[in-house]
């Protein structure tokens, strides 16, 4: 429970994490100014099958004196969090849930993956922040941690949030005011891109990877290559306008992601966003993250970044079923690519060639984008 009282330009608060059988609460003294008392009450517990997350908020001139609620099943929304077994194998991950606004506590839940857990939550509490940590590979290796902020549930309906599922690839942060993926500041070109976001675009602070590098060329000459965190780099360049080719790549178990951009850039008085674009593929996969063999499906293709704003001059998608040894142009219709899966145990890879309305280009390759399961 969290109670905040605003008065005279300041705020006082009371934060209670664990209730006790003897806990009582009442408003003491006269009423405060209208709307100056904000209060939230959150309660988590395990039912016969699902977890419950019931939260309520109040704004008034007085603190609550007791609270009784009897929500029906029709008034709650079912939030299901699902994760396949990661490339490192099955194990226990962790799900976290908390209200996106002022809250008193976070609900931590172990999740045996591959698997899912369902939480019945109150829509009137507002949006919920959902997190997921993959099983640890070793005690010394940090888990991959994902965040899905501002998830809303609807009364009587289900909401699915899937973490750590294919297709892994670059994703831009769509939130207003988010830092751009590429920025030119004076004589510095910086890249801050989530190169290995999961299939729903969830970014990770510690992505699972086996090696990563970023290389910058200026007018055909090598500026430098940096190795380390995927999609993270900073280079010092001359101030004059020039043609650039920026390439970043990362390998993960069973696959590799590479994005290469060309653009022109010059130093300016203020920081300028680089005209970078990325492409997202969102095939309909089975809960274990695999596709059915020998099937043809239309895979949605979404453009993010500069090309989504200025317009796409041309876009071509190629598909490989032999880990990138050969490529076949995929027919496109209505923003979807037609893909035919190989037999059980095979993989599907994507190569995208894009040019935006200003002539900036992207070549994006995702080898081992997703696996093909059994029939």
3-state secondary structure of 307: helix
151 φ/ψ angles, rounded to the nearest 5 degrees: -90, 130
Residues 6+ apart with CB under 8 A from 72: none
- 284-341 pLDDT tens trace: 999 999 999 999 999 999 999 999 999 999 999 999 999 999 999 999 999 999 999 9
If asked whether residues 211 and 310 sit together in one domain, one would say yes
If asked whether residues 182 and 234 sit together in one domain, one would say yes
Reported as type and span, the H/E element at residue 48 is none
pLDDT of residue 104: 64
If asked whether residues 211 and 340 sit together in one domain, one would say yes
pLDDT of residue 261: 98
pLDDT of residue 230: 95
Calculate the alpha carbon distances from 164 to 55, 65, 169, 288 in Å. Answer: 28, 44, 11, 10
Report yes or no on whether pTM surpasses 0.75. yes
Residues 6+ apart with CB under 8 A from 366: 167, 168, 169, 255, 256, 257, 281, 349, 350, 351
For the chain, the residue count is 375
Q: Which residues pair with 43 in a beta bridge?
A: 54
3-state secondary structure of 156: coil
Rounded CA separation 375/372 (Å):
9
Position 153 in a domain: yes
If asked whether residues 315 and 211 sit together in one domain, one would say yes
Rounded CA separation 325/334 (Å):
28
How many domains does the chain fold into? 3
Q: Which of 100, 129, 162 is the last residue of a domain?
A: 162
If asked whether residues 107 and 224 sit together in one domain, one would say no
Nearest CA to 256 among 359, 349, 156?
349
**Which one-letter DSSP state was computed for residue 322?**
S
pLDDT of residue 240: 97
DSSP H helix total and E strand total for the chain: 1, 30
Position 296 in a domain: yes
Q: What domain range is 101 assigned to?
A: 77-162
If asked whether residues 183 and 322 sit together in one domain, one would say yes
- 205-250 pLDDT tens trace: 788 899 999 999 999 999 999 999 999 999 999 999 999 999 999 9
Q: Which of 131, 162, 193 is the last residue of a domain?
A: 162
Residues 6+ apart with CB under 8 A from 13: 2, 3, 4, 5
Position 65 in a domain: no
If asked whether residues 195 and 154 sit together in one domain, one would say no
If asked whether residues 244 and 305 sit together in one domain, one would say yes
Nearest CA to 129 among 55, 180, 46, 39?
55
pLDDT of residue 221: 98
Rounded CA separation 194/203 (Å):
6
With a cut of 70, list the residues of the chain below it in pLDDT. 103-104
Calculate the alpha carbon distances from 174 to 97, 178, 258, 272, 338 in Å. Answer: 21, 7, 21, 18, 27
If asked whether residues 25 and 98 sit together in one domain, one would say no
């Amino acid at each position: 429970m969290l109670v905040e009282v605003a008065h005279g330009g300041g705020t006082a608060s009371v934060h209670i994490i664990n209730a006790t059988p003897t806990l009582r609460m009442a408003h003491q003294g006269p009423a405060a100014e209208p709307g100056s008392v904000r209060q939230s009450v959150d309660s988590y517990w395990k039912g016969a099958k699902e977890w419950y997350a019931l939260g309520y908020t109040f704004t008034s001139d007085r603190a609550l004196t007791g609270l009784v609620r009897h929500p029906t099943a029709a008034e709650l929304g079912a939030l299901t969090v699902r994760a396949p077994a990661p490339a490192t194998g099955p194990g226990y991950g962790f799900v976290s849930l908390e209200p996106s606004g002022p809250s008193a506590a976070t609900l931590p839940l172990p999740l045996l993956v591959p698997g899912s857990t369902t939480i019945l939550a109150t829509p009137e509490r507002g949006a919920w922040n959902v997190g997921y940590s993959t099983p640890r590979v070793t005690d010394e290796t940090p888990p991959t941690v994902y965040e899905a902020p501002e998830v809303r549930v609807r009364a009587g309906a289900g909401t699915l949030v899937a973490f750590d599922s294919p297709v892994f690839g670059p994703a831009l942060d769509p939130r207003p005011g988010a830092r751009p993926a590429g920025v030119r500041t004076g004589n510095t070109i910086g890249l801050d891109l989530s190169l290995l976001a999961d299939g729903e675009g969830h970014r990770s602070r510690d992505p699972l990877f086996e090696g990563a590098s970023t290389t910058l060329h200026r007018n055909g000459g090598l500026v430098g290559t940096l190795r380390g965190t995927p999609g993270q780099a900073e280079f010092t360049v001359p101030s004059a306008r020039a043609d650039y080719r920026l390439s970043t790549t990362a390998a993960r178990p069973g696959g590799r992601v590479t994005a290469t951009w060309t653009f022109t850039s010059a130093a300016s008085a203020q920081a300028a966003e680089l005209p970078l674009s990325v492409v997202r593929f969102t095939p309909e996969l089975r809960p274990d993250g695999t596709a059915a063999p020998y099937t043809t499906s239309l895979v949605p293709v979404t453009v993010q970044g500069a090309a989504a704003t200025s317009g796409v001059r041309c876009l071509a998608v190629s598909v490989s079923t032999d880990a990138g040894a050969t490529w076949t142009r995929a027919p496109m219709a209505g923003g979807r690519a037609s893909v035919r899966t190989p037999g059980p145990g095979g993989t599907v890879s994507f190569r995208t060639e894009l040019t935006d309305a200003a002539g900036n280009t992207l070549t994006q390759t995702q080898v081992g984008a997703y696996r093909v399961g059994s029939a």
